[in-house]
Amino acid sequence: MKFVARLFAEDNNLEPKRARMDIQPALSFSDEDKIGTMQLHDDALVVMLRIGGYDVKRVMVDQGSGAEIMYPDLYKGLNLRHEDLTAYNSPLVSFDGKVVIPRGQIKLPVQVGSEVVEVDFIVVNAYSPYTTIVARPWLHALGVVSSTLHQKVKYLSGGHIEEIVGS
């Protein structure tokens, strides 16, 4: 009887299947990641990213924001025209608490290493020391973990950890 039950199980694939798990390196930060930073600080995380095919400096990484913002310097620097924008009608609140009416929205590729993510930037006509802000949608799409304390962004690419160091 055991032989018949075993034969039946093998013929009908009733053996338990083991879950296949791809082990990925953990994205984490240690004290070694602080080397080269001025401690104690409370600086924003500012990096350089490739946006729309251009290397863009003064990009703020903001974990607390749900919207990617583009300021006039970058808008002009990328030679964008009003016709390139799509409508975006929701007002925003700037860092100084004032209501800002967006000029529109534009989708551009943001490249980090070999990874490329399409980002919807809301274009505003407001002053900022930054050229643009990347926020949670970009962080989540790329699987990025950022740390203002360590002044770094880390992400997985090709099974290994890559990092962007703040400037």
d(CA 71, CA 60): 11
Nearest to 91 by CA among 83, 99, 81, 80: 99
Nearest to 77 by CA among 108, 114, 111: 108
The overall pTM is greater than 0.75: yes
CATH of the domain at 114: 2.40.70.10
Would you state the pLDDT for residue 7?
45
Structural domain for 98, as ranges: 2-165
Nearest to 71 by CA among 87, 89, 59, 54: 59
Query: Which residue has 């974990």 as its token pair?
Result: 63
Domain count along the chain = 1
d(CA 150, CA 148): 5
Q: What share of the chain in percent tops pLDDT 90?
A: 45
What residues of the chain score a pLDDT lower than 70?
A: 1-22
